[in-house]
Amino acid sequence: MVCLQNLQQKAKKLLIEPFYFLTINLLTLLLPLSFLLLARLSCAHCLLASYATQPLSSFPFSFFLYTNPAILYVLVSAISIATLIHGLTGKLTILSESPGAVYQSRLYTAWILLCTLQISVGLGIEGSIGVGVDGSSFGIERSLLSRVIFFLGLHETMLLWFKTVVKPVVDDTIFGVSKEERWVERVGMALTLGSLWWWKLRDEVESLVVVPEAKKELLISVGVADFVGWWLYYLTVTIGMVRLVKGLLWLGMVLFCKRVRRNSITLPCDVEDKV
């Protein structure tokens, strides 16, 4: 009987773990997909303003385009600002491990944020595919360094989204408790983001910066959405620069500590030789 229960628990674990890993990766991917959607919205606004295309026929994408998706801009901006504050101070915790009503209220907030972003990104991306809007035509191939810094900033923002919203919700839904973060989860998210970046994001996300410049050249008024998209791009670049500087400082401290240890080991030997 005990052996049967152990086999059932192992079989259940084998089924739950892959589902858990896949769910976390897909929900975490909502954040970089939101940048892709914002880039396509910006391109669609520019195309319509320059009379280069016919009115859009896809209802989901038209809804986001003509109603000015303020909720999506606010959510992505809030997550990006929180990531910058966390990177500079390291003291930001949106969803803590404290039990009780406070934790439950924050968990419900995380549920609302996750569902809102999932619905917005899902309908918007599906609509953009149906309409055929592609931001790569507006992209300008920037230097490798600038792309790497933006990628680092986006990865850092995605990690905060994962820690504060996705993981608590998925843990509470599947296991009923909060689980410790594992290295395999971070590796999986990095590979997923890298695949999306290489496939679509690297060619389209730069339109957040290019579209406002193109509108100025065409003497078209730059809207609030264009400014927010431009601001989000450089905010993500700033987050990437903070992470890069912190990484270089950490590497310098490691090398400095190793050098100090070597000097402390060789110094007694030199003293003994002189004696």
Residue 208 · residue 230 · CB < 8 Å: yes
Mean pLDDT of 240-260: 88
Residue 95, pLDDT above cutoff 80: no
Residue 245: burial class (beta carbons within 10 Å; 0-12, 13-18, 19+): exposed
Residue 90: burial class (beta carbons within 10 Å; 0-12, 13-18, 19+): exposed
Domain that holds residue 138: 2-274
Q: Which of 208, 173, 194 is nearest to 76 (CA)?
A: 208
Query: pTM of the predicted model, to two decimals?
Result: 0.85
**Residue 96: pLDDT band with limits 50, 70, 90:** very low
CA distance 261 to 254: 11
Residue 69 vs residues 92, 113, 114, 117: alpha-carbon distances, Å? 27, 15, 16, 11
More confident residue, 100 or 201: 201
**In the 8-state DSSP scheme, what is residue 218?**
T
Residue 39, pLDDT above cutoff 80: yes
pLDDT of res. 137: 63
The count of structural domains within the chain is: 1
Mean pLDDT of 211-217: 80
SS3 89: helix
pLDDT of res. 272: 46
pLDDT of res. 145: 86
pLDDT of res. 14: 72
Mean pLDDT of 181-194: 88
Residue 63, pLDDT above cutoff 70: no
pLDDT of res. 93: 53
